[in-house]
Each structure stands twice: as structure tokens, then as C-alpha cells.
Amino acid sequence: MTELLHPYDITQEADIMQPLDFNRRSRLKHVDRTFKSEIINIIRLTEMEKLFQVRILDDTARERFSFRPGQFVMVEVPGYGEIPISISSSPSHKGFIELCIRKAGLVTTILHKARRGAPIGIRGPFGTHFPIEKMRGCNILLIAGGLGLAPLRAPIFHVIENRSNFKDVHILYGTRQPSMLLFNYQYEEWDRIADIDLKVTVEHGDESWTGQVGMITDLLDEVDIAPKETYAIICGPPVMFKFVCNRLTKEGIQMNRMFVSLERRMHCGMGKCCRCNIGSTYTCLSGPVFDYWTVLNLKEAI
Ligand SMILES: Cc1cc2nc3c(=O)[nH]c(=O)nc-3n(C[C@H](O)[C@H](O)[C@H](O)COP(=O)(O)OP(=O)(O)OC[C@H]3O[C@@H](n4cnc5c(N)ncnc54)[C@H](O)[C@@H]3O)c2cc1C
Ligand code: FES
């Protein structure tokens, strides 16, 4: 007889072994609606990041679930906690969503131990989105640093699927080292097949790396920017988008044509718990996507 595998590989984690329990909605103060879901596939991207394909179990809810590029969901691992994660797949794709998750702490570590078929809960989608409809007929710069490629992937898919709606599209991506590059199996598709100019750089190369070495702002030297007809979407650590947005401002792009995703610690995702606010602005409701002008006017946002 084959031994039944526990949906999470928690055999080494005696201190956090708790029963998986979905019947605790009544005990949670902040639940809107949690969709019971399952992890249907797991793809290791790097040592720290995995891509999870997640399917909502209820057929009608799954069919109805839709989101815009830049939005996030709250992912609940029953018994462990709930965390905000950007949706990384194409908004037009039905059936399952993809979440690229870096191992950071308690919940993400237990998710990294999940096996196919593991149950999770999904609430959402939440938050503002990249106003990609506004960018029709213009050039687009899609710029990501490190894990920032996870939220950027949904707008990349949107642009690819609607390629004729946009003029020149550039993806600029940078990480610290080659082993940290995410989704490198898709670069050829983006670059060659979708007619998108892709430039990748790493801060520190290794013997296997034949590509560019340098900072993400160096990649902007190689792009001809027509500021009046260009929009930019920038995802990454705040320090990165500060440098990138300053540089784009010097190129003449208006601040309200640059959009960034601002991540704060979140708990409820819907304006009730006051965990995510910057002054009187709740990033879960008014964000995570803001234009750069708004970000500069939010005190201590970056
Ligand atoms: C809107 C939004 C979208 C996000 N999208 C993604 C995504 O697509 N992929 C992904 O891997 N992560 C994403 N994050 C970050 C993710 O939510 C955190 O890494 C996660 O909550 C950590 O939970 P944990 O229990 O594993 O870690 P904890 O045990 O709670 O904390 C471990 C470490 O992670 C840090 N941390 C906790 N929350 C955050 C946060 N919100 N931002 C940055 N650092 C944090 C803590 O300071 C601590 O150092 C997103 C966050 C937000 C707000
Ligand atoms: S996460 Fe609760 S108010 Fe924003």
C-alpha cells in the first residue's frame, strides 16, 4: 500500500505542526470570502523562489475569478497565516493563477514545503492595478529588479497578448547575480517571438554569465526614450525605483506616466486593520500600484 503524503512536508518542523483546518472562518475577524483552492503544480525558479499554480476548487467561483495586472491576493495557509502575494500570471488565463513566492518567513517557508494538491485559501483580488488601457498606442518600459519580475509578469502577458495596441515595448530586468534571475525560460519568447526588446543585467556575473554586468539604470542608456509617448511600469525594491524614476524624470517622462508597486505589510487587504497605512493612505486600497507623483507626495513612502 502506498503511504499517503501529508500535503505539506512538515516532518522537520515539530514546533509548527498544527492541523489543517478550514472551518475557522467564523473565528477570523477580517474574512471577506476565502476561496478554497489547491496547489496544482509547483515549479522551482531559484533557490529562494517557487512558482505555484493555484486552482480555485469551486467551478463557478473559478470561472468568475478575474483580476487586473498589478493586483494581489491574500493567500491563506490553514493553521499558519495569510499573506499578500501579487498575481503573476496572465489576466486572460482562466483555470488557475500563478504566484511566484520567495521564501521569507513563517508562511512562505511552509508554502515552500507544500506538495501538489496542498489546500490553501485565496481571497481577492485586491488593490489597484497598472492602468494599461491608458498606455494604448504608446511605448512601454517594463522595468523590474529582483522579485519585482513577479508582479511585472501579469502586465508583460497583457502586452504580449495585445501586442498591436502598443508601440515599442522594452523589458529591463536586473538582479544581483545570475542564479537569482526569475523566469529565464521565458526570455526568448518575450524577446524574439513577441517582438519585445529584452535587456537583462546582473550586478555580479560569474564564469557562466556572458550577459551584461551592471546596474538596472545602465540598461536605460541603451533605450531611445520618446518621453511624451512613453509610460513606465517599475517593480522592485523601493531603492531601485527611486533611482530608476529619477533617471526617467531626467529623460523627460512625467511622474504621472510612471507606475510603481509599493508593498507594505498587510493583514486584511481591505482597509480594516490599519496595518498597511502610510499616513492616512491605506496601501491595500489606494495601492499597491501608485503613480510616482503620488508616491513622492506620500510621506515616508520610500
Ligand atoms: C501587495 C503585496 C504583494 C506582494 N507580492 C509578493 C509576491 O508576488 N511574491 C513574494 O514572494 N512576496 C510578495 N509580497 C511579500 C510577501 O507578502 C511577504 O514576503 C510575506 O508576507 C512574508 O510572510 P512570511 O510569514 O513568510 O514572513 P514573516 O515571518 O512575516 O516575515 C519574514 C520576513 O519577511 C519580511 N516581510 C514580511 N512582510 C513583508 C512585505 N509585505 N514586504 C516585504 N517584506 C516583508 C519581514 O520583515 C521579515 O523580515 C507581497 C507583499 C505585498 C504587500
Ligand atoms: S491591510 Fe488592513 S488596512 Fe490595509
Model confidence band, residue 3 (pLDDT cutoffs 50, 70, 90): low
Above 70 in pLDDT, residue 5? Answer: no
Residue pLDDT, tens place only, 162-204: 999 999 999 999 999 999 999 999 998 888 877 899 999 999 9
Is residue 243 within a helix (H) or strand (E), and if so which, with residue range? Answer: helix 238-250
The arrangement of strands across the sheet holding 49-56 comes to 81-86, 72-77, 119-126, 35-44, 49-56, 97-102
From 272, 278, 280, give the residue whose CB has the most ligand 2 atoms within 8 Å, as the site to mutate: 272
- Region 14-126: CATH code: 2.40.30.10
Residue pLDDT, tens place only, 123-143: 999 999 999 999 999 999 999
Nearest CA to ligand 1 atom 27: 105
CA of 207 to the centre of ligand 1 (A): 32
Above 50 in pLDDT, residue 285? Answer: yes
185: Cα within 13 Å, side-chain hemisphere? 5
Model confidence band, residue 4 (pLDDT cutoffs 50, 70, 90): low
Sorted by sequence, the CB contacts under 8 Å of residue 289 that are 6+ apart come out as 70, 127, 128, 129, 130, 259, 260, 261, 262
Least confident interval from 25-34, 40-49, 166-175, 265-274: 25-34
Q: Looking at ligand 1, which atom is closest to the CA of residue 110? A: 26
Q: Is the bond into 78 cis (omega within 30 degrees of 0)? A: no
Which one of the ligands is nearest to 32 CA? 2
CA of 229 to the centre of ligand 1 (A): 34
Instruction: Report the distance separating Cα 161 and Cα 268, nearest Å.
Output: 32
Instruction: Please report the pLDDT score of residue 19 as a whole number.
Output: 38
pTM of the model: 0.89
Q: Looking at ligand 1, which atom is closest to the CA of residue 85? A: 5
Is the CB of 123 within 6 Å of ligand 2?
A: no
Decide which of 14 and 1 is more confident: 1
Instruction: Please report the pLDDT score of residue 302 as a whole number.
Output: 65
- Structure-block grid coordinates of residue 285: 486600497
CA of 127 to the centre of ligand 2 (A): 10
Decide which of 155 and 6 is more confident: 155
Instruction: Please report the pLDDT score of residue 25 as a whole number.
Output: 40
- Structure-block grid coordinates of residue 171: 523589458
Above 90 in pLDDT, residue 106? Answer: yes
Instruction: Report the distance separating Cα 156 and Cα 151, nearest Å.
Output: 9
Residue pLDDT, tens place only, 203-215: 999 998 999 999 9
CATH class of 132-261: alpha beta
> Domain boundaries in the chain?
14-126, 132-261
290-296: average pLDDT: 90
The percent of residues in the chain predicted with pLDDT above 90, rounded, is: 70
Model confidence band, residue 14 (pLDDT cutoffs 50, 70, 90): very low
Residue with the three cell numbers 502586465: 155
Above 90 in pLDDT, residue 155? Answer: yes
